[in-house]
Amino acid sequence: MNDEPIEEQLNSSVYAELRRRLITGRMRPGHEMSTRTLAAELGVSQTPVRDALSRLAAEGAVAIRSKRRVLVPYMTQARMEDILRCRLALEPEAAALATPSLLPEHIERLKQADRKLDGAIAHGDADAYIDANYTFHFTFYLAQPGATMLQLIEALWLQYGPFMRHAFDKVAHARLNDSHQEAICAAMAGDAAGVKAAIAQDIADGMKLIASHGLGLTRT
């Protein structure tokens, strides 16, 4: 029996789990991990963990310090600005491209995610906030037709997700324009340009707010 498909499936599942933890901020900037610890935690050998970490390192999500030691990178001002430029270039366009394909169930998912965001902010729940924010944005991005664009956006979120958790406590209660509501209204009207503008505003507001708080982006 050829075991290669099983091995590939295992590698993919380990990669997907580590990727999920990064995108949703389960691993903060500066978080150190070892292949041995992760393998034990996931109930697998170290080989698929090493393979997954190598893929994530190639995507800029982690930094491999040695054969067994891996670090979630700290954020720098230059990296932050670079990510902002890339997010503004890709994500509003993806949301606009998705607009003609949105179904009633997509709209309901957007509304539910926005309600969960409000609840998470009220309760100071970073896990719920990051999960709901991810759901909101990717309801758009998964509905657009470009597989390459989706991959590029996911790569950006791999790098930004850990920092969002790091910053949540300091920015969660700040007052922002409700760009999510604007995006929902535009989506319901089939207004792709309106969706694009609302998502661009949401990204810019969030990242500028973080910068305005003078957060320590790098290790001191």
End residue of a domain, out of 71, 96, 117 = 71
If asked whether residues 101 and 204 sit together in one domain, one would say yes
If asked whether residues 172 and 66 sit together in one domain, one would say no
Coil/strand/helix, residue 63: strand
If asked whether residues 151 and 112 sit together in one domain, one would say yes
Which is higher by pLDDT, 160 or 215?
A: 160
- What's the rounded Cα separation, in Å, for the pair 54 and 60? 10
Tell how far CA 60 is from the center of its chain: 13
If asked whether residues 82 and 47 sit together in one domain, one would say no
**Is 102's pLDDT higher than 80?**
yes
Which is higher by pLDDT, 101 or 205?
A: 101
**pLDDT tens profile 19-52:** 999 988 888 888 898 899 999 999 999 999 999 9
In a domain, 141, yes or no: yes
Q: Give the single-character DSSP code of 64.
A: E
End residue of a domain, out of 34, 55, 71 = 71
Measured from the Cβ of residue 19, the count of other Cβ atoms closer than 10 Å reads: 20
Which band of pLDDT confidence, cut at 50, 70 and 90, is reported for residue 7? confident
User: Average pLDDT over the chain, rounded to whole?
Assistant: 87
End residue of a domain, out of 40, 71, 102 = 71
Beta strand 63-64 pairing with 69-71: antiparallel
Mean pLDDT value across residues 195-213: 85
pLDDT score for 1: 47
If asked whether residues 84 and 110 sit together in one domain, one would say yes
pLDDT score for 67: 72
Q: What is the domain range of residue 63? A: 4-71
pLDDT score for 76: 84
pLDDT score for 220: 42
